Every structure is written in C-alpha cells, then in structure tokens.
A and B are shown apart, each in its own frame.
Chain A
Amino acid sequence: QITLKESGPTLVKPTQTLTLTCSFSGFSLTTNGVGVAWIRQPPGKALEWLALLYWNGEATYSPSLKTRLTVTEDTSTKQVVLSMTNMDPVDTATYYCAHRGDPDAFDFWGQGTVVTVSS
C-alpha cells in the first residue's frame, strides 16, 4: 500500500525559504520508473506542477520556478525534501507530494499541507 504525507511549516515570512518533507511508504525510490512529484494549489485555483525527483536521482523543475526550487531525497528515512527560496504571498497554497508510477501519472497523493506566506 502506497502512502505519502507532507509535513512542514504552516506559516513562512516573505523572502524566507520553505522546506517541506514528503514521507512515503509502500514503494522504493530506487525502483526503475518511479518518481516523487511536488504539486501545489493556491486557494480556489488550479493545480500547478512544481518538480519531480526520479528513481535515478535526476530532478526536473517547472521552468517558471526552476531558479527557486530544489528537490532531494533522504534515502535513509524514505523522505523527499522540497526547498523553495524567496517565498512570496503568491506562493500561499496547499502543497502536495505524489507518486509517479509506470503509467506516467500521479497515481497516489498525499493529503497536502497548507502553507501561508505572510509577514
């Protein structure tokens, strides 16, 4: 059974760096084809893909946010960490992590974590 859960601060100040953790179970990030993605959703708005970390350690980022994002894996704890620099109020959103499987789709999602950017 695949599960994912996001954790991190609920409130960050403008210009700060946001660090979110995705804890997962039921799969290995070393399995060929597997990935963990980060996706966000501002209140009342559409989903926005942010980044994907592949099983081979490669990462791909949204072109519009590429300079602000870093995704890494802590293999010992089965966690994927998203860092987003220079946070702004427009980054206020629910942040999700999701499993990317063989059908090249996000087939399992975490419950999401709400992040508010405000001074």
Chain B
Amino acid sequence: AQTVTQSQPEMSVQEAETVTLSCTYDTSESNYYLFWYKQPPSRQMILVIRQEAYKQQNATENRFSVNFQKAAKSFSLKISDSQLGDTAMYFCAFIRYNNNDMRFGAGTRLTVKP
C-alpha cells in the first residue's frame, strides 16, 4: 500500500516571502504521479502542480515549484512571493501509473500573513 506523509500540520508565512511544504511517500512502484492540491475555505480542491516520476526535471507553475527527490521519496512544494490568496489547506497526493486510486496526505494548513 502507498502512504503519503505531510509532517507539518500548520505553517505560516509573511506576504511576499517564500515557504516550503514537505511531503514524503512510500511506494515500491517505479512509475507514478505526484500532485499538490490546494483547498481554500471555499472547499474546492484545486490542482496546483503535478510531477511525473519518470521525469527528473522538477515541475514549475508560475510561483509554485517542486523539489522532487525520487530516491528519497520526497516531494516538497515551494511557494514564492506568497500572496494572501495562497491561504489554504495543501494536500500532497500520490497515484500509481495507470491506476485510479489517488491517495492524499494529512494536509498542511498554510496561513499567509499581511
């Protein structure tokens, strides 16, 4: 079974600063996908960024980037130039290649302070 661990229940950052959220996972698979989802108080899960395990290059989406360390089974999310609208729960998620069973970590509540 695959497990996803987020060890930071809560984090805060000042507006315009940079913050990194941690995620580790455990799997025996070699092909899989990793995602970061954001869930603001409006409760809709929003895809932030995705990473394909067979690609060594770290994914980047505007202010969001990941540090994917496959050997260490680590997948951290860096948010640059934090904005008030980034305040939300952030979930790390894992899914095996060619499967339909996305699993989530426990989440990190991020607060961006003005």
Chains A and B belong together in one complex? no
* Chain A interface residues toward B at CB < 8 A: none
